[in-house]
Amino acid sequence: MIIKEFFITDAKESPGRVYKAQPGTESVFYTRKKGNIYSMAFSNSGSFYFVNANENNIYRVFKIKILWWTWTFTVKIYTHSTYIRDILLDKDGNIYFSEASGAGANGKIYKINSGPSTATLFQEIELSEVGGFWAGNFIFDTQGNLYISSGNRIPASIYRLRDGIWEEIFTDSSAPIKGLTFLACDLLCYANWRSEIYTLDIQSGTRELIYSNPIHQWVSDIALFRPKIIEDTLYEGPKDYSCASTCWRDDGTAVDTWDFTDINADNANIQAMLNDIGVPTAPTNDDNEIWNRTKAVWAWLQEHALGIEDANFDAVCAYRDSLDGWPTIAEFAHMFVNWGGFGWKPYVNEEGGTVYVCTCMCRAHLLATLLYRVGVPLDRMAIAETKWKPEYSQHMYVVLKLGCHWYYIDPSYDIPELSDTPENLGAGARDYKHPNELDIIPGSTIIKPMLVR
């Protein structure tokens, strides 16, 4: 992964500077008149805020451009009663800052109130719960969860606040962990108070060095503004993604086609099929419930989907080819209830009834249809298409969003049941992480394929 543009500060420099880093190049983005810069954060409009950990002030920097002239203004917007260690803006533009004394006393995070420049205590950091030390660095993830880093100490850790309890999620035994920012979902970036920037995949616990420049000695923070990344795909070369809570592929497409014709239809056969699956069908946004229903649909398909090794597979696929488009939910249900209703009798297992699975697209279409009908919201699931050897071929599977994370589930992969916790499911030389096209449920607001991690 390459981040196409990010911003760093070196707290050792005075006057302080903000640098813009791009692949193979780095330039000075801003220089203050005097004093250091420890931490910075961008607003949604592109102005940015900074603090010096040995000052009480928050500064805002913005630019005004008229014709070919540009003026840069630095304005003090808030003064605190003691030193301000870190600053951030949430997705709604609210400003937060911290005060900390290392190991001297509990730290505090404040939120600046709208209107008059006053601040309200947002969170107290009890040192006894975070290893006895906190230098003030903090961040919110894309879901609003609070994270902090140990700061200038070794070993250094990152903690996450969950249900009022601090969890240690990562430890670096070689260098400090200072400024933090989220690139997307559970993909975190951090500065190491040396010369490096790392990304950390919180789900897997793996990190990757993305920046190193020995001219900087105290890299204290990293900031992003409308970030873009470059990802190497297996068969298509490097591809650009724009990142927010998810990284969306810039050249990908999402289509609402006839693949899901009449997906909301209802009749006795459909109800019989859904009842046989045996889970609630009311829409839900609860992640655990969505995964449990996905497990139930998967297990049901293992008992009722006709596979290539089963009798009459070719006849069933021939019937599929005779339909006008892919089968509707009503046609799936008709085959389940009336397995002998087409002049031949498909394979019937001991559970009774059958639906069919012929190609990867047919399998993905059937799985997505059933997931939607057992209450998985239309914006949390789609059919994904990716390249597969040889380069011109395609493979279809389902992507499912749980929390802020997109998973891939390939119904062409033969496994009897899913695990109790969410997982990626696939096999072979298929580039599941980088779909180039999505077939979305009608009404979905998804407009681009996502990076699936």
Residue (of 96, 125, 387, 98) closest to 249 by Cα position: 387
pLDDT at 256: 85
Sign of CA pseudo-dihedral 212, 213, 217, 222: negative
pLDDT at 24: 93
The answer to whether the beta carbons of residues 432 and 408 sit under 8 Å apart is: yes
Residue 133 corresponds to which tokens in the numbers above? 């030390």
pLDDT at 116: 64
Residue (of 159, 178, 175) closest to 39 by Cα position: 178
Spell out the per-residue pLDDT of the chain, length 453, in tens: 999 999 999 999 999 999 999 999 999 999 999 999 999 999 999 999 999 999 999 999 998 888 778 888 999 999 999 999 999 999 899 999 999 999 999 999 999 987 667 899 999 999 999 999 999 999 999 989 999 999 999 999 999 999 999 999 999 999 999 999 999 998 999 999 999 999 999 988 999 999 999 999 999 999 999 999 999 998 899 999 999 889 999 999 999 876 788 899 999 999 999 999 999 999 999 999 999 999 999 998 887 777 677 666 677 677 677 777 778 898 888 777 765 433 333 444 444 456 666 788 888 999 999 999 999 999 999 999 998 776 667 899 999 999 989 999 999 887 878 999 999 999 877 899 999 999 999 999 999 999 998
Task: Extract the runs of DSSP E, i.e. beta strands, from 173-227.
Answer: 180-184, 187-191, 196-201, 206-212, 219-223
DSSP 78: E
pTM reported for the whole predicted model:
0.90
Distance between CA atoms of 388 and 18, rounded to whole angstroms?
43
Query: In Å, what is the CA distance from 24 to each residue of 21, 27, 169, 197, 218?
Result: 8, 11, 32, 15, 20
Strands, sheet with 405-409, edge to edge from the N-terminal-most edge strand: 253-255, 437-440, 381-388, 393-402, 405-409
Count of residues in the chain: 453
Distance between CA atoms of 319 and 330, rounded to whole angstroms?
15
Mind giving me the DSSP string for 253-266? EEE--GGGTTTT--
Domains of the chain and any CATH numbers: 2-226 (2.120.10.30), 248-440 (no CATH)
The answer to whether the beta carbons of residues 183 and 224 sit under 8 Å apart is: yes
Distance between CA atoms of 5 and 26, rounded to whole angstroms?
10
Distance between CA atoms of 227 and 22, rounded to whole angstroms?
11
The answer to whether the beta carbons of residues 61 and 70 sit under 8 Å apart is: no
The answer to whether the beta carbons of residues 225 and 17 sit under 8 Å apart is: no
The answer to whether the beta carbons of residues 262 and 348 sit under 8 Å apart is: no
DSSP 298: H
Reading phi first (left if > 0) and then psi (alpha if -120 to 50, else beta), residue 298 is in: alpha
Mind giving me the DSSP string for 364-376? HHHHHHHHHHTT-
Distance between CA atoms of 26 and 118, rounded to whole angstroms?
37
The distance of Cα 100 from the centroid of its chain, to the nearest Å, equals: 30
DSSP 416: S
The number of beta carbons lying within 10 Å of the beta carbon of residue 196 is 17
Distance between CA atoms of 68 and 71, rounded to whole angstroms?
10
